[in-house]
């Protein structure tokens, strides 16, 4: 056990987060997401919600503030303007950790394509539909 590290973050996921560099992306996916065969390293987080995992990851990982799209969800198929309740929860978690960050969405297959290039996918036990979010890692600025 270590201080100040959320217990939801398993050692292999911590290693992935630490190894990621500026601009690398990680996906937090729901239980329906086709994560196993997309290509990136897969971390299982069964029984954990996507929002709890997002909160844990953002406790340690900064979001990129050099680009507009740093936290990207999967748009609702057939209704890209829809705003499922989980999107509001994503926004709240992001605002607590990264007040300047903006949550946006992209089309389902564009999300899958982007996920293929991610450093890793964290597959949660999230059962709410559209519980998927892609995060672009930022930097930690020097002190002073």
The residues annotated as belonging to the active site are 22, 64, 112
CA distances from 38 to 5, 27, 104, 120 (A): 28, 11, 22, 10
What distance in Å separates the CA atoms of residue 56 and residue 51, rounded to the nearest whole number? 9
H or E element that contains 120: strand 120-124
- Which of 37, 70, 71 has the alpha carbon at shortest distance from 51? 71
| Side-chain half-sphere CA neighbours of 32 within 13 A | 8
């Amino acid at each position: 056990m270590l201080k100040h590290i959320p217990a939801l973050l398993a050692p292999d996921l911590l290693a992935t987060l630490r190894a990621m560099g500026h601009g690398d992306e990680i996906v937090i996916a729901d239980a329906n997401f086709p994560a196993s065969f997309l290509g990136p390293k897969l971390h299982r987080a069964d029984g954990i919600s996507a929002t709890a995992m997002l909160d844990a990851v953002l406790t340690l990982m900064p979001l990129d503030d050099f680009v507009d799209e740093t936290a990207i969800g999967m748009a609702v198929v057939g209704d890209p303007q829809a705003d499922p309740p989980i999107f509001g929860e994503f926004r709240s978690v992001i605002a607590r950790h990264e007040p300047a960050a903006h949550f946006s969405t992209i089309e389902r297959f564009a999300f899958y394509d982007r996920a293929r290039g991610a450093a890793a996918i964290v597959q949660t036990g999230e059962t709410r539909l559209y519980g998927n979010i892609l995060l672009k890692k930022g930097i930690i600025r020097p002190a002073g």
